[in-house]
């Protein structure tokens, strides 16, 4: 029997898994990312843990796929990072070949998450999906007829950076009014903190859930307060859902996929997000452009990119 390694390199966590051809995860090694350690620390962890999994494996490991939490030049198989030193222009697939003796394919975490959900999660049985991860920022990946869409400059799926309003806040990418500035976890938290400081009574329960400190408000505490019925929190959640609905309608009208799959921490809010999202999708839709695209939650949770990394590995076998 043959197997592959799937590796997910994230800003907060990293995971290395051993998978069989059916997508079953046979073994797992994971830990917290030490950003201060830079590239060398991460490569050392990957090498040691990967060799340990390979040594224990009861099947022959044939290849490796990597999900990388940062910009990836897919054609050149090199990565970069805006947050951790040492990665700029680094040829990660070549490093794996040299140090683990495995052929390797690397893609960014959003694309890997899309492929993971398409092959093994909420996208099974479809021809095309768009995967959107909503957490600190917003990322996305597009799978069409079983293949990831990268685009001319490896920019396909950068849905968080669709410009939505010239009056919006400055985004992490340097643009203004991107979708990410309206409905990412960071944007929702900032909206809550601002309102809590101006009108603390409106978000009293949210502040209480945030250890009594407006500066500690997160998207999670806002969603919890909204679930309990706090009007200020409900308003912020509905506002975010309205902007997300506009972004999804753009996706539907440009790509018209079988299914849009929502992942990331904000999507864990479930019905508290989906109910107003569907409401605004209905309001914004028009009879002449009816659609049957389904909206679903990711089935693989935080492990979508890891499963996608395994799927990348299998493309090499």
- Check which CATH number belongs to the domain holding 163 and give it: 3.30.420.40
Whether residues 70 and 146 share a domain: the answer is no
What's the pLDDT at 84? Answer: 81
What's the pLDDT at 270? Answer: 92
Whether residues 102 and 148 share a domain: the answer is no
Q: Can you give the C-alpha Rg of the chain in angstroms?
A: 20
How many beta carbons lie within 10 A of that of residue 31, not counting itself? 11
Whether residues 292 and 306 share a domain: the answer is no
Measured at the alpha carbon of residue 138, what is the angle toward residues 135 and 139, in degrees to the nearest 5?
115
Whether residues 253 and 142 share a domain: the answer is yes
Whether residues 220 and 109 share a domain: the answer is no
What span, in angstroms and rounded, lies between the C-alpha atoms of 177 and 175? Answer: 7
Whether residues 133 and 169 share a domain: the answer is yes
Count how many domains the chain has: 2
Q: Are 8 and 50 in contact (CB under 8 A)?
A: no
Whether residues 64 and 213 share a domain: the answer is no
Whether residues 292 and 193 share a domain: the answer is yes
What's the pLDDT at 81? Answer: 86
What's the pLDDT at 113? Answer: 97
Whether residues 306 and 294 share a domain: the answer is no
Mean pLDDT of successive 10-residue stretches along the chain, which has 317 residues: 95 94 95 92 97 95 96 93 86 97 96 97 97 93 94 92 92 92 96 97 98 97 97 97 97 96 93 96 90 96 96 96
Measured at the alpha carbon of residue 86, what is the angle toward residues 36 and 106, in degrees to the nearest 5?
110
* Pick from 244, 261, 243, 260: nearest CA to 252: 260
Size of the chain in residues: 317
Question: What global pTM score does this model have?
Answer: 0.92
- Domain extent at residue 160: 124-298
């Amino acid at each position: 029997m043959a197997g592959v390694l799937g590796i997910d390199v994230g800003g907060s966590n990293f995971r290395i898994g051993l998978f069989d051809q059916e997508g079953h995860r046979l073994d797992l090694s994971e830990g917290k990312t030490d950003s201060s350690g830079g590239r060398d620390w991460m490569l050392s962890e990957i090498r040691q843990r990967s060799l340990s999994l390979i040594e224990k494996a009861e099947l022959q490991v044939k290849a490796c796929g990597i999900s990388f939490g940062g910009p990836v030049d897919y054609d050149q198989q090199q990565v970069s990072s805006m947050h951790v030193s040492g990665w700029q222009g680094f040829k990660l697939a070549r490093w794996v070949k040299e140090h683990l003796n495995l052929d390797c394919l690397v893609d960014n975490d959003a694309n890997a998450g899309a492929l993971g959900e398409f092959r093994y999660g909420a996208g099974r049985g479809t021809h095309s999906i768009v995967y959107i991860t909503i957490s600190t920022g917003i990322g996305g990946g597009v799978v069409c007829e079983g293949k990831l869409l990268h685009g001319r400059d490896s920019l396909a799926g950068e849905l968080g950076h669709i410009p939505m309003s010239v009056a919006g806040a400055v985004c992490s990418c340097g643009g203004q009014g991107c979708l990410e500035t309206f409905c990412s976890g960071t944007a929702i938290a900032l909206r809550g903190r601002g309102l809590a400081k101006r009108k603390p009574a409106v978000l009293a329960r949210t502040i209480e859930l945030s250890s009594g400190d407006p500066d500690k408000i997160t998207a999670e505490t806002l969603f919890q307060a909204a679930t309990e019925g706090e009007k200020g929190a409900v308003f912020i959640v509905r506002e975010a859902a309205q902007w997300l609905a506009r972004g999804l309608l753009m996706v539907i009208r440009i790509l018209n996929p079988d299914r849009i799959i929502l992942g990331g921490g904000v999507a864990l809010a479930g019905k508290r997000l989906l109910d107003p999202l569907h409401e605004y999708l209905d309001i914004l839709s028009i009879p002449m452009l009816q659609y049957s695209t389904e909206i679903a939650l990711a089935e693989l949770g935080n492990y979508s990119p890891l499963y996608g990394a395994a799927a990348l590995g299998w493309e090499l076998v």
